[in-house]
Each structure stands twice: as C-alpha cells, then as structure tokens.
Amino acid sequence: MFYKVLDGVKVLEFGHLISGPFCAKILADLGAEVIKIEEPGGDEARKQEPFLGDIAGPERSGTFLYLNMNKKVITLNPATVTGRKIFAQLLAEADVLVENNSLKRMKTLKLTYTQIKKINPRIIMTSITPFGQTGPYKDYKGGELVNTQMGGVGFISTREPDTSKAPIKYPAHLFSYQAGLCAAVATMAALFYHRGTGSGEQLDISEQESTLIDVMNPVYNYSYTGHIASRAGVLTAAPTHLLPCKDGYIHNGFVRESHWRQFVNDVMGHPDWADKEIFKDYLSRAQHWDELRPLLVEWTMQRTVDEIYRESQGKRIPIGAVYTSAQVLQDRQMAARGFFVEVDHPQVGKIKYPGVPYRFSEISQDKPTAAPLLGQHNEEIYSRLGYSKRDLVKMEESGII
C-alpha cells in the first residue's frame, strides 16, 4: 500500500544496497515519484540473498524487490559525457536527490552539492555515507558490520555474560535501514522547510550517528556515571530473559517487582521455591539466576508460547511471544491491520512484503507496484527528455544506458 501524501514531489535516487534505496522507498510509499538511476550492471542489491527458490538472478533478490516497490527505474552511466548530460537534465526537474555513494565517487562524477546546485538551486540533496561528509573518517568505507561496532552496538548486543568473547553484529541490515529512515525524515523536513523559499539544501546523514541513536542509553549513562555498559550488565535484569517453551520461546519483561510476584502467584500457581530467600528481590534473583532459570524452564517447557502469552497478557503481565518469521506472517494482529501486502512481480509471481507501519484516517491507500525490472522505464523517462527509441538503441550500444 502507499499514500499520495507527497504527490507531485519528484525524487531521483542514485543509490545502492540498503540505506539510500530505503530512504527513497519511504518517499515512494508516501506518493513521491521516485526515479531510480541504476548503472547498466544494476544495483548491487540485485545480487543480494534471499533469492526465490535459491535461484539467483537480477530480478529475483528479495532485498531488491522489497526496497524498490513503487519506484521507476532507468539505467544510466553517469561516467560518460552523454550520461552526465542526461543526469543534469533529470536533476533540473527533480525536487530531491537521494544518494549513498562515497564522497570520492561523487567528486569523480562531478556530482557534488556545489556542482548540482548550479544545475538546480532548489534541490534537496540527501547524502548518506558511513561517517558523514566531514571529520577525519569522512573518506572511510563502511558497512553494516562497521556500523554495528563503531556505533557502539556490538559491545552490548548479546546476552553473553562472558565479555572476553568477541562482540557480534546484529542480524541482517538493521542499521542500514535505520540510516535510511533518518534520511527520509530529514528529507521530508527539508522539503517542508524550504517549500516557501525555493532554496536548496544538502542533508549530511552519517550511518554511524544514526546507529548511535539506538544505543543512547549506554552513552548518556556513561556521561553521567562513568560506567561502561556491557553484555554482562544484562544479568542485573534477571529474570528478564528468553525462556524455552514447548514450541518456541517467551520473553519476560518484569521491569517491576509486582510483575514478578504476579507471574509467580497468578500464572505459575505459587510454586514452593518462590518463597526461597535467594529469590526474594530483583537483585537476589539476578545473582542466583543459574539456580532460578531451571525452575522456570521446568514450568515453561510444559506449556506452549501461546498459552503463557495469552494468560500473562490477560493479567496485564508484560510477557511477549518470540515469533519466528513464519509466525509473524500468520499473526492475527498483522492480518487485522492488513500490514503485509501481496505484490505480483512478472518474474517471481505473487509474494507478500511488509507494508507501511502507519495509517492515515482521511487519506485512502493505493495498491503498491512491484519493483521494476532493470531498465524497465527507460523508454518512458527518456521520452520525457526528448530521446527517441532510436536514441535509446544507440545509447545502449555505447554503454550509456
């Protein structure tokens, strides 16, 4: 689904992989016309797993198909003379340029903000890089693993009490998506701010900084107390842990003593061990977690996730079910809100994708369009610029598109 909130806004995306395309996807989901510029070989995301049926192909990547719904795609090589000319034509008509290339690459292509604003003084240029446009790291390469560690997340990312073990990264591309989200919010704010003046703006988005905002609690805690948070620190929150059940896991969120007592008394039926001195309070239970956990597991393993979750929630006790991807797709709450949308793609068929996590009360939804094939909109977009089909054939032969 998508909404025409940004109807009339023209966005160029010169991005690859996750952060830039996700930023542009958010704008497309809100109704902006997004023209994605891919070099003739295609976005690197087209080579990213998963592939439908484990059969690789530029039109079969689940990552690409999700990130590029509701967009139009053209191929263009901006390193050629004609390619630069066409890029300038597209820039002249755009409201926004979203890109997540290195500073060096943008300088080589003569696509810095200083150069672009000469073509279009009112354009909003949203630039996403690993460390931002300034500072000693501005030319460093990055990625999800780098973001996780240099954003401070890796050090606290597991419940492993042995801090001598190496930190790990979060799964998938969580913080690349986070950078794209930050970039989209900033882009919409810039559009709103500059709509009356007609002036332009470059937005400087640092993936490192966008990762840091997710771990600000340990950061500002250190600035107040001098204490460095670590993975071992999670033990003070026992029994806020994952516990196995018959068919999966539950997560306990006992942030108050009353939650623990209510769970033990009203859900578990007040077992004899609940009155032991070693389990008398929050800190004591944390210190004796090795003794407490088997007692809890003995009880949880006799029940399903749904049984514990429903009964606990019914008594307003904060326990959550730990869903697999399959369970999320089948969840009745997701179904009731129509979160997952089925999109029909010409090469992979009908697949369900995550929709948008918001609803407008007075604006109707439109059905999403599938991610485009490589170069699918070449004829449509280039004809707007005055190029004929014959021109396209020549440009394809010359490696321009």
Secondary structure class of 268 (helix, strand, coil): coil
pLDDT tens digits for range 220-269: 677 777 777 766 554 455 566 789 999 999 988 776 888 999 999 999 99
Query: Mean pLDDT over residues 147-157, rounded?
Result: 79
Runs of H (alpha helix) within 263-360: 282-287, 289-300, 305-314, 325-330, 332-337
Q: What percent of the chain has pLDDT over 90?
A: 74
Nearest in space to 261 (alpha carbons), one of 245, 252, 274, 278: 274
Q: How far apart are alpha carbons 231 and 242 in whole angstroms?
A: 15
Contact present, 155 and 167 (Cβ < 8 Å): yes
**Which of residues 252 and 348 earns the better pLDDT score?**
348
Q: How far apart are alpha carbons 70 and 246 in whole angstroms?
A: 41
Query: Mean pLDDT over residues 76-105, rounded?
Result: 98
18-22, 77-81, 153-157, 231-235: the lowest-pLDDT one: 231-235
Question: Could you tell me the pLDDT band of residue 171, with boundaries at 50, 70 and 90?
Answer: confident
pLDDT attached to residue 145: 85
Query: Mean pLDDT over residues 281-301, rounded?
Result: 91
27-36, 67-76, 255-264: the lowest-pLDDT one: 255-264
pLDDT attached to residue 235: 47
pLDDT attached to residue 146: 87
Q: Check pLDDT > 70 for residue 162.
A: no
pLDDT attached to residue 152: 80
Q: How far apart are alpha carbons 356 and 351 in whole angstroms?
A: 16
Q: How far apart are alpha carbons 310 and 85 in whole angstroms?
A: 61
Query: Mean pLDDT over residues 366-370, rounded?
Result: 94
Number of Cβ within a 10 Å radius of residue 368 = 18
Q: How many Cα atoms occupy the beta-carbon half-sphere of 30 within 13 Å?
A: 17
The residues facing 197 across adjacent strands are none
Using CA atoms in the order 41, 43, 47, 48, what is the torsion angle rounded to 10 degrees? 170
pLDDT attached to residue 224: 73
Secondary structure class of 18 (helix, strand, coil): coil
Q: Which residues of 240-261 are buried (b: 16+ CB within 10 A; e: fewer)?
A: bbebebeebbbebebeeeebbe
Question: Residue 278: in which H helix or E strand, if any?
Answer: none
Query: Mean pLDDT over residues 28-40, rounded?
Result: 97
Tokens of 199: 């002036």
pLDDT attached to residue 283: 83
Which of 96-105, 151-160, 227-236 ranks highest by mean pLDDT? Answer: 96-105
Domains within the chain, CATH numbers bracketed: 4-215+338-397 (3.40.50.10540), 238-324 (3.30.1540.10)
Q: Check pLDDT > 60 for residue 277.
A: yes
Q: How many Cα atoms occupy the beta-carbon half-sphere of 77 within 13 Å?
A: 14
Tokens of 285: 């239970």
pLDDT tens digits for range 115-139: 999 999 999 999 999 999 999 999 9
Mean pLDDT value across the chain: 91
The strands making up 319-322's β-sheet, listed across from edge to edge, are: 242-244, 249-252, 319-322
Q: Check pLDDT > 50 for residue 108.
A: yes
Tokens of 229: 């948070």
| Helix 19-29 × helix 174-194 angle, to 10° | 50
